[in-house]
Amino acid sequence: MALTYTPSPDLGKAAADFKLPGTDGNTYAKSDFFKGQPTLLMFICNHCPYVIAVQDRLVQLGHDLADLGVAVAAISSNDAGRYPADGFEAMKLRAREKDFPFPYLYDETQSVARDFGAVCTPDFFVYDKNGLLAYRGRLDDSWKDPSLVTKRELFDAVVLLLQGQSAPANQAPSMGCSIKWKI
């Protein structure tokens, strides 16, 4: 596991197009999420300890953002050949076990992760109502211990966007395991 931090965000960049299968049996495209409201796309996986540490918070975030009318999707792009726990069948099981309130999409070719510039799990991309990157930072201020969270940075950024404001310019990077690229 190589600890990786997200790079400085390329704020204002448009979201890349994509079309991916979901663990629920549906296929999803960019247009299914970008509908004139902020949108959260997060790159996660099943096996990463950083994702596992925040997984219940991601479920809560999914519910909280859905209540605000914000579209959310999770994408797994890891090499399932070398990391079978991140394969599509395992993703289906995880989505059911955790009752994900958002689609969990499989990027088998890793092209979507490359197009977005995703580097780690978790890696969060929040787009404004125009589909432009507004936030690429961490989930909150305590990745490991939910009882120590004092600021829900990602959620707060989305609320600002919903209020017609800008997300904070100073965004602490997310950190996690590097995406497991195919060799």
**pLDDT, tens only, 98-107:** 999 999 999 9
- The pTM of the whole model exceeds 0.85: yes
Contacts of residue 162, defined as CB under 8 A and 6 or more positions apart, other chains included, come to: 37, 38, 68, 70
Could you give the CA distance from residue 30 to residue 15 in angstroms, rounded to a whole number?
A: 8
Could you give the 3-state DSSP secondary structure of residue 79?
coil
Q: What is the pLDDT of residue 1?
A: 60
Written out in words, the top-level CATH class of the domain with range 3-178 is: alpha beta
Could you give the CA distance from residue 78 to residue 70 in angstroms, rounded to a whole number?
A: 26
Percent of the chain whose pLDDT exceeds 70: 99
Contact status, residue 174 vs residue 6, Cβ threshold 8 Å: yes
pLDDT, one tens digit per residue, over 11-64 is 999 999 999 999 999 999 999 999 999 999 999 999 999 999 999 999 999 999
> Chain-centre distance of CA 109, in angstroms?
18
Give the mean pLDDT of 80-108. 98
